[in-house]
Amino acid sequence: DIQMTQSPSSLSASVGDRVTITCRASQSISTYLNWYQQKVGRAPKLLIYGASTLQGGVPSRFSGSGSGTDFSLTISSLQPEDFATYYCQQSYETPLTFGGGTKVDIK
């Protein structure tokens, strides 16, 4: 199985901050990398697929980059509704695997 490692596991930030979350795959996955946002008690929401393609309706302050084994999710200016847990997922091969999550909370 491809292991996905996210860092940090949690971070505290303020509204307006620029936030970057990283995700590393245990082997090359090209750009088969998705990012999801999950709020407490809610289902995950797709933010980005193909490492950098924004899902429809997702604000442009979210962006993704990377290829091979190293990826990042950036929120350019953190908004109150962005406080949540973020997961990366590889879709290069089954079993599909998720990172452990990064919890973004209010400083």
Bond prior to 59 in cis (omega within 30° of 0): no
Min CB(66)–other proteins separation in Å = 14
SS3 9: coil
- Rounded to whole angstroms, the Cα distance separating 47 from 82 reads 12
Query: If binding is defined by CB under 8 A, does position 68 make contact with other proteins?
Result: no
Given 36, 62, 71, 86, the residue binding other proteins (CB under 8 A): 36
Please compute, for residue 49, the number of CA atoms within 13 A of its CA located in the half-sphere on the CB side: 6
Stretch that binds other proteins, among 19-27, 58-66, 71-79, 96-104 (CB under 8 A): 96-104
Given 55, 63, 65, 74, the residue binding other proteins (CB under 8 A): 55
User: Locate tokens 């302050």: which residue?
Assistant: 61
List residues bridging with 62 in a β-sheet.
75
Task: Return the number of the residue (72 or 102) whose C-beta is nearest other proteins.
Answer: 102
Stretch that binds other proteins, among 12-20, 36-44, 67-75, 76-84 (CB under 8 A): 36-44
Furthest-apart CA pair in the chain: how many Å? 37
Query: If binding is defined by CB under 8 A, does position 86 make contact with other proteins?
Result: no
